[in-house]
């Protein structure tokens, strides 16, 4: 009973002091205060875009940092969170991929990004209606399936009905295609799946998304077809970044539709205009080309909305997240 009470105060009401837990005796409050703390990581940088997008640079206890982004829309509010410090996949269009993988985030570090955003947005206690954060996407820094156990634990915390109360339909996990873990993710985590496809041939995808050399398109799409829970009302999302003269031809659009039909996938395609970053080797496709690409897919019976860039002025758009790894001496870490 006491565990449930403490859990509710922390994850449903967002308190940071045991003394605020009104239905717990003063003596137990003192015991808890003597042995535990309720804390958040530091936000070392906080930026608000002209379009209302908010970016948080979060520093954890060992000094390493990761970024998360809140994107407000008229009908929803999406929080994009990170699962790793850095990334090991080296996708060539992604700014995070220029940073080495430092480490996985723990489950509490993943959840803390939601806690911080809810603090900032004044969203405690957890509302049942009118909440600002309506959707969570694991699309920030890192590959979530390479941090499977911590991501799973974090999602279970987010979904708990006595806590933050996020529906599994409102949580999306994005993977670059870690094929052996996709079916397990569907069974054990059970959230929406987004796949970073970005190309329709192995030749091009090998260059853009190097993990394709290990798990080529055929294996990836077969795993998508077998993803537990995927159906027309809960489609798989294919993320497709629009790179000028690389993957944006009419032939690419037609082949993309052909692959979706061939593997009988309940799917939609999110077309993402490339968001530039310092030293990026690519350019964004012309807007007319993106619209034509979208139209060709739509005409073949597959939904292909264009994701409007958000937060570009603060480097918060898709593919722009990056942080610096910070090494802290043992003596200083002990103080933290």
Reduced to 3 states, what is the DSSP secondary structure of residue 215? coil
In sequence order, the β-bridge partners of residue 65 are 59
Round the CA-based radius of gyration of the chain to a whole number and report it: 21
In sequence order, the β-bridge partners of residue 69 are 55, 80
| Sequence-separated (6 or more) residues with CB below 8 Å from residue 331 | none
Residue 46 confidence (pLDDT): 97
Residue 232 confidence (pLDDT): 84
Going by their DSSP bridges, the two strands 192-196 and 77-80 should be labelled as unpaired
Rounded Cα distance, 70 and 277, in Å: 19
- What is the phi/psi pair of residue 44, to 5°? -90, -15
Single pTM value for the model: 0.93
Rounded Cα distance, 75 and 207, in Å: 37
Question: Tens-digit pLDDT profile for the chain (336 aa)?
Answer: 999 999 999 999 999 999 999 999 999 999 999 999 999 999 999 999 999 999 999 999 999 999 999 999 999 999 999 999 999 999 999 999 999 999 999 999 999 999 999 999 999 998 878 899 999 999 999 999 999 999 999 999 999 999 999 999 999 999 999 999 999 999 999 999 999 999 999 999 999 999 999 999 999 999 999 999 888 888 999 999 999 999 999 999 999 999 999 999 999 999 999 999 999 999 999 999 999 999 999 999 999 999 999 999 999 999 999 986 544 433 433 333
Residue 324 confidence (pLDDT): 66
Rounded Cα distance, 113 and 125, in Å: 16
pLDDT tens-digit readout, 56-75: 999 999 999 999 999 999 99
For 38, the token pair is 């309720």
Evaluated on CA atoms 246, 248, 252, 258, the torsion sign reads: positive
**b/e 215-254 (16+ beta carbons within 10 angstroms → b):** bbbeebbebbeebeebeeeebbbbbbbbbeebbbbeebbe
DSSP 284: B
Rounded Cα distance, 102 and 149, in Å: 17
Rounded Cα distance, 55 and 303, in Å: 29
Rounded Cα distance, 146 and 157, in Å: 19
Rounded Cα distance, 324 and 102, in Å: 10
Cα 20 to Cα 9, 30, 306, distances in angstroms = 8, 12, 46
In sequence order, the β-bridge partners of residue 193 are 173
Contact (CB, 8 A) for 247 and 204: yes
Q: Active-site residues: which are they? A: 67, 318
DSSP 306: B
How many angstroms from the chain centroid is the CA of residue 68? 8
Reduced to 3 states, what is the DSSP secondary structure of residue 10? helix
Residue 128 confidence (pLDDT): 74
- Domains and their CATH numbers in the chain: 1-38 (no CATH), 41-335 (3.20.20.70)
For 183, the token pair is 């079916």
Cα 292 to Cα 31, 250, 271, 296, distances in angstroms = 64, 8, 11, 6
- What is the phi/psi pair of residue 156, to 5°? -65, -35
How many angstroms from the chain centroid is the CA of residue 233? 21
Residue 325 confidence (pLDDT): 55
């Amino acid at each position: 009973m006491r565990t449930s009470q403490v859990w509710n105060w922390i994850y449903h009401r967002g308190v940071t002091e045991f003394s605020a837990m009104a239905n717990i005796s003063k003596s137990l409050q003192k015991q808890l205060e003597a042995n535990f703390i309720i804390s958040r990581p530091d936000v070392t940088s906080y930026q608000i875009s002209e379009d209302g997008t908010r970016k948080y640079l979060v520093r954890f206890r060992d000094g390493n940092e990761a970024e998360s982004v809140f994107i407000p829309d008229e009908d929803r509010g999406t929080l994009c969170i990170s699962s790793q410090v850095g990334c090991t996949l080296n996708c060539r269009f992604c700014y995070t991929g220029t940073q080495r993988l430092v480490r996985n985030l723990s489950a509490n570090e993943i959840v803390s990004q939601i806690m911080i955003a809810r603090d900032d947005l004044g969203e405690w206690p957890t509302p049942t209606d009118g909440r600002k954060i309506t959707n969570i996407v694991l699309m920030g820094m890192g590959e979530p399936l390479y941090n499977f156990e911590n991501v799973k634990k974090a999602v279970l915390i987010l979904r708990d009905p006595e806590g933050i109360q996020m529906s599994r339909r409102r949580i999306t996990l994005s993977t670059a295609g870690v094929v052996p873990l996709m079916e397990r993710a569907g069974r054990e985590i059970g959230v929406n799946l987004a796949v970073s496809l970005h190309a329709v041939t192995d030749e091009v995808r090998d260059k853009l998304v190097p993990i394709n050399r290990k798990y080529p398109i055929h294996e990836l799409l077969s795993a998508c077809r077998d993803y537990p829970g995927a159906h027309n009302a809960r489609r798989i999302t294919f993320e497709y970044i629009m790179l000028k003269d690389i993957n944006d031809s009419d032939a690419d659009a037609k082949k993309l539709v052909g692959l979706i039909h061939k593997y009988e996938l309940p799917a939609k395609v999110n077309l993402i205009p490339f968001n530039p970053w310092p030293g990026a080797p690519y350019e964004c496709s012309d807007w007319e080309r993106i619209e034509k690409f979208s139209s060709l897919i739509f005409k073949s019976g597959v939904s292909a909305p264009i994701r409007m860039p958000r937060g570009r002025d603060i480097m918060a758009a898709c593919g722009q997240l990056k942080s610096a790894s910070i090494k802290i001496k043992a003596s200083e870490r002990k103080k933290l």
